[in-house]
Amino acid sequence: MIVHDLVFRLEEVRIGTTSLGNELEALKYGDTYVIPFSTWKGAFRSTTEAIVEQPDSQNVINLLMDKVNAAIDKAEEWNPVVARRVFWEIAKEVKGLNYPEIEGLDRVLKDVLNPEATRDDTKRLVKEIIRSYLSPVDRLYGGPGPDAEVREFGFAGALIFSDSVMRGAERGMVTKTSIDRRTRKVAEHMLFTEEVVYPKSVRVRVILHRVPDFALKAWVNTLRFLAEVGLGLGSGKSRRSWATLDPGDSKVAEASLNQILEGQKWKSLGEWLKGRP
């Protein structure tokens, strides 16, 4: 497990929530303004999708599908009872390969395959699960992604994000207007006021569970990109809601949870990134 204590420089942000007439409120828990984990996860995922290329894993997919097709075709009949038995056989075959990039795939297959599905639908679904599992983005954030054609399954990603609490941050009300995209002029009767928070910096805790090298490389490159370029957050991305990772103030720890809580294993994120390929 790798724990990251990430610090972002952020001038202003507005995470939208309820509206009162033409006044748009910023999200808060009680009296405390927050950036929820879901906002962080979505922004990180979009960044990784933009900068990371899908590795060529067709040979692994073909190898696995040969075993899957053989196990399914070997069954003389196909019903839920037979299907469950075949799923266990497939999972055993996959686990027996001992390929680091597909570690845990056997558990995913047993959990998400539908014994009510036909043989052909099962083959199609297994292929999509394997393809998604070999994607660095899906492996990090969970699969399938929002653009996937097949949505009949899902597995958890290796990343866990915390909420960010902005205690003591200043806030303000900013009056804005909407633009009519057809005329490219100010829209009539579309004046509104939005609540904006000015935190200067925010902190988010991110936990990364064990992943294969191809997914870890994607994560490292994402952090490097965020330090050099940054990411947009919330509903003000076209203005100043741009967060830039500070590798000097950020920390990372590769250890057990008890060691981390005791402060024994923290090191500078910048130093940690320099040691990564």
- The chain-wide mean pLDDT, for the chain, equals 85
Ranges of CATH 3.30.70 domains, the chain: 2-54+161-274
Q: Which of 36-45, 54-63, 251-260 has the lowest mean pLDDT?
A: 251-260
**243 vs 202: CA distance, rounded Å:** 9
Percent of the chain with pLDDT over 90: 42
Phi and psi (nearest 5°) for 166? -110, 70
Q: Is the distance from CB of 225 to CB of 247 less than 8 angstroms?
A: no
Q: Is the distance from CB of 48 to CB of 74 less than 8 angstroms?
A: no
pLDDT tens per residue, range 86-98: 999 999 988 888 8
Q: Is the distance from CB of 172 to CB of 153 less than 8 angstroms?
A: no
- Rounded to a whole number of angstroms, the distance between the first and last alpha carbons of the chain is 19
For 262-272, what is the mean pLDDT? Answer: 82
Of residues 191 and 139, more confidence is placed in 139
Name the CATH topology of 2-54+161-274. Answer: Alpha-Beta Plaits (3.30.70)
Per-residue pLDDT band for 38 (boundaries 50, 70, 90) equals very high
pLDDT at 190 over 80: no
**What burial class does residue 183 get, using C-beta atoms within 10 Å of its C-beta: 0-12 exposed, 13-18 middle, 19+ buried?**
exposed
Per-residue pLDDT band for 144 (boundaries 50, 70, 90) equals confident
pLDDT at 254 over 60: yes
**91 vs 88: CA distance, rounded Å:** 5
Of residues 155 and 23, more confidence is placed in 155
Q: Is the distance from CB of 141 to CB of 157 less than 8 angstroms?
A: yes
Q: Is the distance from CB of 92 to CB of 106 less than 8 angstroms?
A: yes
Between the alpha carbon of residue 168 and those of residues 15, 33, 65, 246, 249, the distances in Å are: 17, 9, 55, 20, 20
